[in-house]
Amino acid sequence: MNDFKFSIKHTDENTKARVSEFETPHGKINMPVYMPVGTLATVKTLSPEELEEIDAEIILANTYHLYLRPGHKTVKKMGGLHKWMNWQRPVLTDSGGFQVFSLAQKKGHNKTEKKTLVKIKEDGVEFHSHLDGSRHFFTPEKVMQIQSDLGADIIMTFDECAPSNASRQYIKEAMERTHRWAVQCKKEHEKIQAKREIKQALFPIIQGGIHKDLRVKSAKFMADLDLPGIAIGGLSVGETKENMYKILDAIREHLPENKPRYLMGVGSPDDLLEAISHGIDMFDCVMATRNARHGSFWTKDGRFHVKNSEYKEDPNPLMKSCSCYTCKNFSKSYVRHLFMEQEMFGLRLLTIHNVYFLIDLMRKIRTHIQKGTFLSFKENFLERFKN
């Protein structure tokens, strides 16, 4: 695919960490990369200009949510996500598979409703909207058509993300179904791409729960599809960190070397460092913005809560060595005051800091990989950081 070129710039001698670049129609992505999550085509409270100032190289939007409202046809009519959002850098959309299963089973339009709201069939999934209870049906082909209309640079195959507590047999069946759907997605994607002027890169999603043999089987299957990248799903759905790292160990040698590797839904600083040392290139997570909404922020020493009384008269920034807009201009005392008074500006300031913290961490990681000091940087960071 000529519109997408992946190149490895440097590989760490002591780990599997690597610095790479992925060229897309809307610009180059330096990896490892953290992608801020803009579920509803906006990273909560931040403008595109602020995201550029933070140097976000790519953001993620959600297929399921945008399909329901305002509808993918509306987004297409408005010129696609890039024009609609006024964001000219790369965009990734997920397939909506995780939300179809997780949101629809958690709640219906009637909060007292307890019945399962998802029906899985061989050709797709019938589900009810978590917004109004309306019924919908996603097939692999439809998910490709929706993501084509949204117009993201990187799109995902439709998958079934089985719950972490599901039986091995069910996880196996869900994985095999995900494999069949990935093949269908690839076929439909190729038909759509033949008609598109601006191309999209399709990534398949490895599944298999915490079962090493299933994960290896899925990794091999998805790698054989020979798509521009590969993603690992279902490793941020309730399993332990130890199990996640074990799965990354098990599948590492089966992931393509010459393509970007995307670990979905993972974004705590310690997990990022560990996964990068396993050779992962791309990450997304709502943690940065969600933590901000709840008044918490990261520093090199861990996660803290801005409402703590000790910050009432603290003249220092959230983190002394941080160069984000928040830390360069405001004190903990002021940000705490904004939160105590429920002022929106406080939420914005914490969001700026948290997103910047992860993007800056990635920038430092890339530098240390290139200098050959990544392992010592990782060890020193984790020794100090208490999540």
Q: What is the pLDDT along the chain (387 residues), one digit of tens a residue?
A: 468 999 999 999 999 999 999 999 999 999 999 999 999 999 999 999 999 999 999 999 999 999 999 999 999 999 999 999 999 999 999 998 888 888 755 544 444 443 457 899 999 999 999 899 999 999 999 999 999 999 999 999 999 999 888 999 999 999 999 999 999 999 999 999 999 999 999 999 999 999 999 999 999 999 999 999 999 999 978 889 999 999 999 999 999 999 999 999 999 999 999 999 999 999 999 999 999 999 999 999 999 999 999 999 999 999 999 999 999 999 999 999 999 999 999 999 999 999 999 999 999 999 999 999 999 999 999 999 975
Give dist(CA 145, CA 50) in Å, integer: 31
What's the Cα-to-Cα distance from 223 to each of 179, 185, 214, 255, 376, rounded to whole Å? 11, 15, 14, 7, 32
Mention every residue, 6+ apart, whose C-beta is less than 8 A from residue 12. Answer: 18, 277, 369, 372, 374, 375
In a domain, 303, yes or no: no
Domain assignment present for 149: yes
* 55, 224, 284, 301: the active-site residue: 284
Any catalytic annotation for residue 94? yes
- pTM given for the model: 0.95
Q: Measured between alpha carbons, how far is 124 from 66 in angstroms, rounded to an integer? A: 19
Structural domain boundaries, residue 283: 5-291
CA nearest 262: which of 236, 290, 241, 291? Answer: 236
**Torsion 143-148-149-155 (CA) sign:** positive
Is position 276 within any domain? yes
From 222, 90, 232, select the one nearest 154 (Cα to Cα): 90
Q: Tell me if residue 149 is catalytic.
A: no
Nearest to 209 by CA among 173, 156, 183, 260: 173
Report yes or no: 27 and 90 within 8 Å, Cβ to Cβ. Answer: yes
d(CA 51, CA 85): 12
Residue 270 forms part of a structural domain: yes
Report yes or no on 317 lying in a domain: no
Residue given tokens 């009384």 in the structure block: 309
Q: Is residue 314 part of a domain?
A: no
Q: How far is CA 62 from the centre of its chain?
A: 10
CATH number, position 245: 3.20.20.105
Beta-carbon contacts of 228 under 8 Å, excluding residues fewer than 6 positions away, are 1, 4, 6, 201, 202, 203, 259, 260
In a domain, 323, yes or no: no
Reported as type and span, the H/E element at residue 34 is: strand 33-36
Q: Which of 12, 94, 149, 281 is catalytic?
A: 94
**Per the structure, how many domains does the chain have?**
1
Alpha carbon 127 to chain centroid, angstroms: 23
How many angstroms separate the Cα of 8 from the Cα of each of 170, 233, 270, 280, 343?
37, 23, 23, 12, 44
